[in-house]
Copies of this chain bind each other. A is one copy, B any other.
Amino acid sequence: MKSKVLNQGPERTIALIFDKGDEVISTLQRFAREHSLTASRFSAIGALERAVLGYFDWERKDYDRLPVDDQVEVLSLNGDIALDGSEPKVHAHAVLGRRDGSCVGGHVLEAFVRPTLEVLLIESPGYLRKTCDRDSGLALIDLSA
């Protein structure tokens, strides 16, 4: 994955271009840590060789894993980055398109790029913080934190 700042100023727009084989979430997570991102949003299109999506099971309070084992188009991949403690945390949801145009989507647990993923990330100077939500057991963005 390579990155390039497209726009300086109070908000910065950064292009992140992923290569074949790059895993999206761990790579974004590493980028967020290395650049100390405290409040970012991103949107991407491209294609994947395979992925694992998640669906949050409200009863079990955990994610079901939905493996996607075929080459798919990334129709949308939207997300944000907020602080969980002192650590930036990536949160992304995607809709993937199969050969027949049918769609499968979920919370992105893992996604392996082929041949490319074009991410436009906007870094804001503010910050967003996550705290643990008792109801769901998830770390959710909390604007009063």
Contact = CB atoms under 8 A, between A and B. Distances in A.
Given A43-B78, A75-B106, A125 B55 contact: no
Given A103-B104, A118-B141, A9 B6 contact: no
Interface string A45-81: 1010000010111100000101010010111101110
A78 B95 CA distance: 12
Nearest to A115: B136
- Chain A's interface size range is 35 or more
A73 B78 CA distance: 12
A9 B7 CA distance: 10
Contacts of A3: 143
Contact of A75 (B13, B76, B124): B76
Nearest to A57: B99
Interface of A: 2-11, 13, 15, 17, 20, 39, 41, 43-45, 47, 53, 55-58, 64, 66, 68, 71, 73-76, 78-80, 91-95, 97-107, 114-116, 118, 120, 122, 124-126, 128, 133, 135-136, 138, 140-144
